[in-house]
A = this chain, B = another copy of it.
Amino acid sequence: MVRWEPGAGGRLREAAMELYVERGFEQTTVAEIAQRAGVTARTFFRHFADKREVLFAGSDDLLAALTRAVAEAPAEASPMTVVAAVLDVAGGLLGQDHERTRQRQSIIEAHPELQERELIKLARMSAGVAEGLRERGVPAPEAALAAEAGLAVLRVAFGGWVSASDPGDLRVAMRETLAALRKVTAS
């Protein structure tokens, strides 16, 4: 009988981050992560495909929250107003724990294969938002552009926030960066 470990996913994420910070991502094995979390390697693989995926565990939830924000925006909202609502949700979720997020980001930036995984997750967010906009009746090119513009804002705002020593609220940074994008594209 397979015994399900309650909270094992969260413990594995904690353990993985600790080990990646202590020893480095490459030097850490799945067996070590599982041991520190007090579970078997088999349990690890019930939760994550590989040791890269542990770092991206929240991305499905994030994508679901963003597409929900698209669907729930007022019917009369323009595409960029919908994107602004999406960025507000993204800022709330991504901006919860600056120190942990900063650690995660420095691990990702040190490894091209993690950067690639991060970029494909972000591209999926953009595609998900564009799809949601099309479902609201926004024509395809405009939907893709609004979603990509949102991704541009997210990348710049998040990049500034995660590397800041006194980071503030990521949602505010998102709003300010969106205003800056409007200004720069209008010039």
Contacts and interface: CB of A to CB of B under 8 A. Distances in A.
Query: How many chain copies does the complex carry?
Result: 2
A187 B78 contact: yes
A159 interface: yes
A33 interface: no
B186 A186 contact: yes
Interface in A65-108: 78-81
Give the interface size class of chain A.
20 to 34
A156 B145 contact: yes
Nearest to A138: B184
Interface string A147-184: 01101110110011000000000000000010011101
A92 to B, nearest CB: 21
Contacts of A142: 180, 184
B141 A156 contact: yes
Interface in A98-132: 112, 115-117, 119-120, 123
A54 interface: no
B185 A141 contact: no
A13 B186 CA distance: 41
Interface of A: 78-81, 112, 115-117, 119-120, 123, 141-142, 144-146, 148-149, 151-153, 155-156, 159-160, 177, 180-182, 184-187
Given A112-B120, A145-B153, 14 more contacts: A79-B187, A81-B187, A116-B117, A119-B123, A141-B180, A144-B156, A144-B159, A145-B177, A145-B181, A145-B184, A146-B184, A148-B156, A149-B152, A149-B184
